[in-house]
Chain A
């Protein structure tokens, strides 16, 4: 158990819908990362937050947004869903983004299936 908690574990929804994925980082971790893993692609970095502020943005679509709340949990919002958005979405956390060598621990992921 990495200590990073993601909910829901599995989600099936229809095209055009909106979903929210939730992540609770490890106790004491201030930095949260979101990654997408599709079947035919590797792990793609989406976005990073540190102590409530956005710190880095990767290949995140405009239909997607995220935020980190004062209690440090984070949510990834996916809207106008398309079939191609079906993927495993990982949340990860680390203590401090300023020390990038801090190990990044991953949650178990949220499986999203768009039908």
Chain B
């Protein structure tokens, strides 16, 4: 079974600084997708960034970027120029490229942004 592990239950960063959240996953599949979702205090699940496993190029969305290491099964999220609004729980998620599959989530990392 696929598993997703986020080894950092909590992280903190100073406003305007850069922080990296870690995620590792276990799969025997070759085709899959990885996501980072953000859950602010409102508890809404907001998509941050998406990565296709077949793409070597790391995904980037404005201040958010990933470091995707397929061989190491690692998928970290880098937040640059951190803002107070970035404070949230961040979930790493995995889904296989097959029908009927579902998102498997990590345990989450609670990010605090200090002014």
Spell out A's residues near B (CB within 8 Å): 2, 33, 35, 37, 42-43, 45, 48, 55-56, 58, 88, 90, 92, 97-101, 103-106, 108-109, 111
Residues in B neighbouring A104, C-beta threshold 8 A: 35, 95, 103
Given A100-B98, A100-B101, A103-B47: A42 and B33 within 8 A (CB)? Answer: no
- 22 A-B residue pairs with Cβ-Cβ distance under 8 Å, sorted by A, are A2-B44, A33-B102, A33-B103, A42-B108, A43-B91, A43-B103, A43-B105, A45-B102, A45-B103, A48-B100, A48-B102, A97-B100, A97-B101, A98-B99, A100-B95, A100-B97, A101-B97, A106-B45, A106-B47, A108-B44, A109-B43, A109-B44
Give the interface size bracket for B toward A. 20 to 34
Q: Are B96 and A100 in contact (CB under 8 A)?
A: yes
Inter-chain residue pair count (beta carbon < 8 A): 65
> Who on chain A is nearest to B106 by CB?
A42
CB distance from A24 to the nearest CB of B (A): 16
